[in-house]
Structure 1
């Protein structure tokens, strides 16, 4: 259950971070409204709060989170940007998730 909870928390954290960065991107590069900065700031605050919910050392959480972030970012690429990930993208995600699993769940 801890594995599932940790993984789901990482996914929510990644979505909050990506949204917090994507909205300013829309404002800066796609002529979006400056009002996009308000939900972006809220999203980044939620991102930081979600990272604080993990029960292990912060550095370990940040390192492991990176693997899940990569997977979620490529999902975003496909679902939001409409660009299908390549086979190499999928291999990279698999390697990153294996690394995340080693960091988070190795015996201490």
Structure 2
């Protein structure tokens, strides 16, 4: 159950961080304005808060593992929000990142 909670928190964190970055991108690069930028900044702040809810107490481990989720989530976001079509190497790289994330977070440790 702890793994499911942790995985769900990673997904929520990814939605806030990737969504926040996308909103800022839209506000600046696509000239959508300060409202989009402000919403993005709030979402990015929410991401920082959600990351603290992980059951593991090690900041470095959480952020390192989240990197794998961020890579895969960014490709998925691009597909949904911008029509991006990843190639087989994008998908392979994302799967490698997710495997690394799983090793960092969920392999039993003897300590």
TM superposition score normalised by structure 2? 0.91
TM-superposition CA deviations, 1:38-92 (whole Å, max 9, x none): 2112101110000000121111000000111111111011111101111111111
Structure 1 partner of 2:3:
3
What value does the CA root-mean-square deviation take over the aligned residues?
Answer: 1.0
Count of paired positions: 108
Q: In structure 1, how many angstroms separate the alpha carbons of the residues matched to 2:36 and 2:19?
A: 10
- Structure 1: state its 5+ residue gaps: none
- Structure 2: state its 5+ residue gaps: none
Over 6 Å off, 4+ runs: none
TM superposition score normalised by structure 1? 0.93
Q: CA deviation at 1:25?
A: 0.9
Q: In structure 2, how many angstroms separate the alpha carbons of the residues matched to 1:77 and 1:23?
A: 12
Q: In structure 1, how many angstroms separate the alpha carbons of the residues matched to 2:86 and 2:99?
A: 19
